[in-house]
């Protein structure tokens, strides 16, 4: 790829002529959104064989992988050229696309970054979640932001080269991006076709129980994907802790979220994440087919929840 091609892609993106995720990034406001293809963050199933994982997701009504391509994930980033294609092909057998992936990528200085993005793009991946940044408090918050922004700019340029979109996920805690304003400052001047926010409603509400609505309005045009999961709080020895639960059983206001998603026309890929246990300690010892029935039942319940809210938003 040449610098001139990169510059062409940048200009085309700014004028709207270049839209690598047409139909996935945004669509004209129609007053009602078509049902989303639902992707699944594969982390809870990474320990199973790929065939089992794909069959189980297809049985549950999932439409695509949000595949882990990171250390300890389904695909080892150091072996991406040999491990990614078979997973993609197995998914196709069951009607699953591999549109999305989760990585540990945070910059262009790692030699693996280019290989991962090139290989992923060649095999149909359109959106990937980045790894996480941390503040350097010895430099201060503002200086940390400036440093990260420079790295993000270089990565955005590389994404344009490979026609792939990066997405930085907001995550509660003390890492960069817990306050969604961080992400806005980071990506507001970058073309959304190359760099976006992967908006996680669970983490947004954990950090801003009511102010998440403001952040959603702020970032609406810069969101490249949505992550869905639910949680509640519990107090343990006087300390508030989050507990992951199935969709609709926690404190996330999905009624308001889905309504705002429609009103703001945030028509982007949807991935749902399961952080609660899919199998109990006893069920872990069950035969494989019995495990599959249990897992499929839980996945179907969450998918039906999403479909109901999309239909009524």
pLDDT at 177: 87
Residue 20 clears pLDDT 70, i.e. is over it: no
Closest CA to 102 of 72, 75, 68: 68
1: confidence class by pLDDT, cuts 50, 70, 90 = very low
Residue 29 clears pLDDT 50, i.e. is over it: no
pLDDT digit string, tens, across residues 191-205: 999 999 999 999 999
pTM of the model: 0.87
DSSP per-residue string spanning 201-234: HHHHHHH-TTTHHHHHHHHGGGEEEEEE-EEEEE
The residues near 22 (Cβ < 8 Å, ≥ 6 apart) are none
Residue 100 clears pLDDT 90, i.e. is over it: yes
pLDDT digit string, tens, across residues 71-80: 999 999 999 9
pLDDT at 32: 67
Token pair 């999403």 in the structure block, residue = 306
What mean pLDDT comes out for the span 286-297?
Answer: 97
Q: Given CATH 3.20.20.150, say whether it is the number of domain 34-312.
A: yes
8: confidence class by pLDDT, cuts 50, 70, 90 = very low
Residue 7 clears pLDDT 80, i.e. is over it: no
42: confidence class by pLDDT, cuts 50, 70, 90 = very high
pLDDT at 236: 87
d(CA 93, CA 17): 34
Residue 3 clears pLDDT 50, i.e. is over it: no
d(CA 197, CA 252): 19
Question: For 34-38, 99-103, 150-154, 176-180, which range has the lowest pLDDT when averaged over its residues?
Answer: 34-38
């Amino acid at each position: 790829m040449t610098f001139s091609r990169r510059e062409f892609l940048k200009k085309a993106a700014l004028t709207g002529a270049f839209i690598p995720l047409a139909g996935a990034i945004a669509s004209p406001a129609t007053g009602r959104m078509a049902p989303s293809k639902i992707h699944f963050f594969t982390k809870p199933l990474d320990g199973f064989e790929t065939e089992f994982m794909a069959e189980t997701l297809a049985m549950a009504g999932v439409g695509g992988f949000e595949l882990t391509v990171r250390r300890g994930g389904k695909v080892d980033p150091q072996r991406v050229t040999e491990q990614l294609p078979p997973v993609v092909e197995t998914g196709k057998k069951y009607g699953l696309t591999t549109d999305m992936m989760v990585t540990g990528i945070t910059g262009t200085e790692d030699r693996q970054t280019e290989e991962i993005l090139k290989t992923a793009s060649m095999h149909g991946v359109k959106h990937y979640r980045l790894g996480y940044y941390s503040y350097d408090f010895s430099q201060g918050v503002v200086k940390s932001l400036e440093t990260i922004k420079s790295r993000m700019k270089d990565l955005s340029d590389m994404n344009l080269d490979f026609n792939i979109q990066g997405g930085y996920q907001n995550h509660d805690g003390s890492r960069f991006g817990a306050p969604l304003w961080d992400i806005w400052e980071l990506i507001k001047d970058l073309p959304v076709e190359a760099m976006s926010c992967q908006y996680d409603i669970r983490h947004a509400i954990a950090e801003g129980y009511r102010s998440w609505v403001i952040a959603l309005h702020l970032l609406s045009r810069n969101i490249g994907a949505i992550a869905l999961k639910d949680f509640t709080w519990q107090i343990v020895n006087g300390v508030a802790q989050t507990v992951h639960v199935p969709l609709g059983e926690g404190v996330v206001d999905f009624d308001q979220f889905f309504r705002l998603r429609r009103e703001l026309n945030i028509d982007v890929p949807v991935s749902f994440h399961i952080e609660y246990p899919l199998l109990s300690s006893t069920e872990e010892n069950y035969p494989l087919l019995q495990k599959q029935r249990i897992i499929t039942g839980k996945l179907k319940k969450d998918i039906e929840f999403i479909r109901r809210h999309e239909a009524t938003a």
